Amino acid sequence: MSSILPEMLPSLWRRCGSLIHMTGPKRGIDFRDDIVIEYDMRIKTGEEETHDLSLIDGASFIGNVDVSSARARAKRILGNGGAIDITVSRIEHAVEATVEVLISEVQRGFNLCLGCFTSDLDEEIQLFDGAIGESRCLKRSVVAVAIRSWLELKFKVGPESSSSAEHCCSFRANSHGLGTQKINTGSALISVNVTWSPLPCGASKFF
């Protein structure tokens, strides 16, 4: 039996060629059989939803033969308003890690890019990329991690991504419990909480 938690990270190509990075789903998908994932993504153009420009509107079919364990697979979906790049990974014998990040004691504004690596995969999962001007909590993220492996978080902090300093922390996967670490960057204090949750029957997850 296997399950799937899409670590899907769509990237939207705009007309100018730049990227908009988007977070993946908040929960996992049990991969016990073939899966159909529906998409309805729009570009807001006015007050009324009916005026919004449709980017993609359709579905993807994913089967057991399409996703190898512990490998990232990239796919591009072309739409009327642009293209969506989606990366999918299947993690066997996984647990869920709910990542919560609190930014406090902000001394000055800075840019923050937060990425993570899971289960020895080379593909980086982007969890956040934006400006920090005051104390705040980042949106929770859910990541699948193979049991007895590691979740590695990488924080890039600086005025610009090209001149940012890197700060890292790691958490060993567990079937339950809470892990906490703090990082003092000089610009702010970053508190990281990772809550571990088991999956039914030790199944795998699809991210």
- Boundaries of domain holding 172: 94-199
Amino acid at 87: T
- Along the 207 residues of the chain, how does pLDDT read in single tens digits? 333 444 444 444 444 455 566 665 555 666 666 777 777 777 777 777 777 877 777 777 777 655 556 667 777 777 776 777 777 777 888 888 999 999 999 999 999 999 999 988 888 888 998 999 999 999 899 888 998 899 999 999 988 655 789 999 999 999 999 999 999 999 999 999 999 998 765 445 545
pLDDT for position 138: 93
Domain presence at residue 119 = yes
Residues 35 and 73 in one domain: yes
User: Does residue 84 sit in the same domain as residue 109?
Assistant: no
Tell whether 5 is covered by a domain. Answer: no
As for how many domains the chain has, the answer is 2
Q: What is the pTM for the complete model shown?
A: 0.74
- What is the structure's pLDDT at 106? 94
